[in-house]
Amino acid sequence: MQNDLENQYLNIKNQIPIGIQLVAVSKNHSVEQIEIVYNLKQKVFGENKVQELVEKYEALPKDIEWHLIGHLQTNKVKYIAPFVHTIQSVDSKKILIEINKEALKNKRIINVLLQVKIAEEESKFGLNISEAKEIYQEYLNENFPNIKINGLMGMATFTDNKNQVKSEFLKLKKLFDELNQLGNLETLSMGMSDDFKLAIDCGANSVRIGSSIFGKRLYN
């Protein structure tokens, strides 16, 4: 297993241009698997469930940069506020207010990305474009002093239609560029195992890759 995992990780890593952040999505994978990838100098990992993230944080080296990439409920923020590096899935003003509150309690500034709904699928979470603009303006007005909005995150429609995926990525890139003229955004997170190359071509500087590194997920 170790050799396969190492080879899969290095294969993906070699396809990521210098300057593009790789978030290794380790959800539903074991601490032992994460350690193998960590020992190849991967330091940024993404989880989408709070309980699993907390358990892995406690079990693994403390220099790992943990990203929460799944939908976050307000009552769960307190569990990750002491240590999470970035919350990529801010999809409402309500959750932003809660993150700000818990960051203050922990005397921290928490990095977040605004998740924008670019996919047609109803199951996807995210702000619409006007909501994202409104929240970002409030942030620039210093309404959330314990938060740093670092950028935007989006998930394209799960489809074989590459033209549709490309148009969704470019829609998010356009919004990123607009907001970047108002403030100073760093991260445009879009693209996963099946579409990360297209996402990079469309301007992504952070990609979230799980199955191409770790293989199929193991569900309990």
Give the pLDDT band (50/70/90) at residue 188: very high
**pTM for this structure?**
0.95
Share of residues in the chain with pLDDT > 70 (%): 98
How far is the C-alpha of 77 from the C-alpha of 48, rounded, in Å?
Answer: 13
- For 130-146, what is the mean pLDDT? 97
Give the mean pLDDT of 177-203. Answer: 96
Q: What is the pLDDT of residues 49-82, one digit of tens each?
A: 999 999 999 999 999 999 999 999 999 999 999 9
Domain covering 2-212 in this structure, CATH number: 3.20.20.10
Q: Can you give the pLDDT at residue 220?
A: 47
Distance CA(35)–CA(160), nearest Å, equals 33
- pLDDT exceeds 80 at position 141: yes
Q: Quickly count: other Cβ atoms within 10 Å of residue 8's Cβ.
A: 17
